[in-house]
């Protein structure tokens, strides 16, 4: 049977699209009704085409019965804003030293600029996003995070004060769940607040893993600027058990920003998250490829 009104190349294109939809159907059924927490940041958030495809992915998830919760970063944008204000940036173990001037800029960029941009982008696809700052209505309670650094000369560990950088300790889950039940898509800026009403900057990966654990989400997705966890030959590891992930943390080839991402996934899964995936956000529609294709992308951590 031929479609006389279509060229052979057009026929092949539409047949491929139909095959893709058929392949996705069992995965759509599998994830329907699930809460999936997605950490969104890096190159994917700074590229207009990628941010557009991400917004469409999120709108599609909601339409097919998945409840996405977005936790976004904003490091590059914060850095640019600080630079424009002649405020220097220093880092300890990858975390920005955040004094009183810096936290004001961080809050402005995360909760107003970036959050609004993501909300508007998802809205343009027909979704119903709701922007939330973690330090509003005591959504995320945080405590001050102190970093232990080993002195290179004496080999003695010392505690370094990095200012208003926080560690999440409590979540008002009902606020997020109420938005989900109202058909909305929570878009959360990773800020926290302590009992004295001080605002803290929280690492976006850490915040996403913490929220996923508290919500008992079915899955945590961490979008990064690499393909996933790479082995000592720089080849992608497609899957790891929870125990394997714990063991691999001590390997020399796990370094830089990957180690805290794996740690975040492990902690989330120990709190009840079934699966976690570290995947490349630079790939268009990476979220859909991960959730609704046979092989997915990135490195998936499974609890058993």
Classified as helix, coil or strand, 41 is coil
Classified as helix, coil or strand, 270 is helix
Range of the domain at 146: 33-302
Q: Is residue 39 part of a domain?
A: yes
Classified as helix, coil or strand, 152 is coil
Q: Are 191 and 168 in contact (CB under 8 A)?
A: no
Torsion of CA 134, 69, 242, 298, to 10 degrees: -120
Q: Quick: pLDDT tens for 38-50.
A: 999 877 787 888 9
Q: How many domains does the chain have?
A: 1
Classified as helix, coil or strand, 80 is helix
Q: Quick: pLDDT tens for 58-114.
A: 998 998 889 999 999 998 899 999 999 999 888 887 788 888 999 999 999 999 999
Torsion of CA 22, 23, 28, 31, to 10 degrees: 170
* Domain at 294, CATH number: 3.40.1160.10
Q: Is residue 12 part of a domain?
A: no
Q: Is residue 139 part of a domain?
A: yes
pTM to 2 decimals? 0.89
Q: Is residue 14 part of a domain?
A: no
Residue matched to tokens 């640019």: 80
Q: Quick: pLDDT tens for 104-147.
A: 999 999 999 999 999 999 999 888 999 999 999 999 999 999 88
Q: Is residue 278 part of a domain?
A: yes
Q: Is residue 9 part of a domain?
A: no
Determine the Cα–Cα distance for residues 223 and 298; give it in Å rounded to an integer.
9
Q: Is residue 206 part of a domain?
A: yes
**Residues in CB range of 170: below 8 A, 6 or more apart:** 140, 141
Q: Are 269 and 303 in contact (CB under 8 A)?
A: yes
Q: Is residue 13 part of a domain?
A: no
């Amino acid at each position: 049977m031929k479609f006389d009104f279509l060229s052979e190349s057009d026929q092949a294109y539409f047949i491929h699209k139909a095959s893709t939809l058929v392949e996705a159907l069992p995965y759509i059924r599998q994830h329907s009704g699930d809460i999936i927490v997605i950490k969104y940041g890096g190159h994917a958030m700074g590229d207009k085409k990628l941010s557009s495809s991400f917004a469409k992915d999120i709108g599609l998830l909601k339409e097919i019965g998945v409840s996405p919760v977005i936790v976004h970063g904003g490091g590059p944008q914060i850095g640019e804003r600080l630079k424009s204000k002649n405020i220097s940036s220093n880092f300890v173990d990858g975390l920005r030293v955040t004094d009183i001037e810096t936290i004001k800029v961080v809050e402005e960029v995360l909760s107003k600029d970036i959050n609004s941009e993501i909300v508007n982008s998802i809205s343009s696809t027909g979704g119903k996003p709701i922007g939330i700052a973690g330090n509003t209505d005591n959504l995320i309670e945080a405590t001050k995070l102190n970093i232990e650094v080993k002195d290179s000369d004496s080999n003695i560990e010392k505690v370094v004060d990095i200012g208003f950088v926080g560690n999440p300790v409590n979540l008002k889950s009902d606020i997020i769940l109420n938005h989900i039940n109202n058909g909305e898509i929570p878009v959360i800026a990773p800020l926290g607040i302590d009992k004295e009403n001080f605002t803290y900057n929280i690492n976006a990966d850490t915040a996403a893993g913490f929220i996923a654990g508290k919500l008992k989400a079915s899955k945590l997705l961490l979008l990064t600027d690499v393909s996933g966890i790479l082995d000592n030959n720089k080849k992608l590891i497609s899957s790891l058990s929870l125990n394997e992930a714990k063991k691999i943390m001590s390997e020399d080839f796990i370094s830089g920003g990957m180690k805290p991402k794996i740690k975040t996934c492990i902690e989330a899964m120990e709190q009840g998250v079934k699966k976690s995936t570290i995947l490349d956000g630079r790939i268009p529609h990476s979220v859909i490829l991960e959730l609704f294709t046979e092989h997915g992308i990135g490195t998936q951590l499974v609890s058993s």
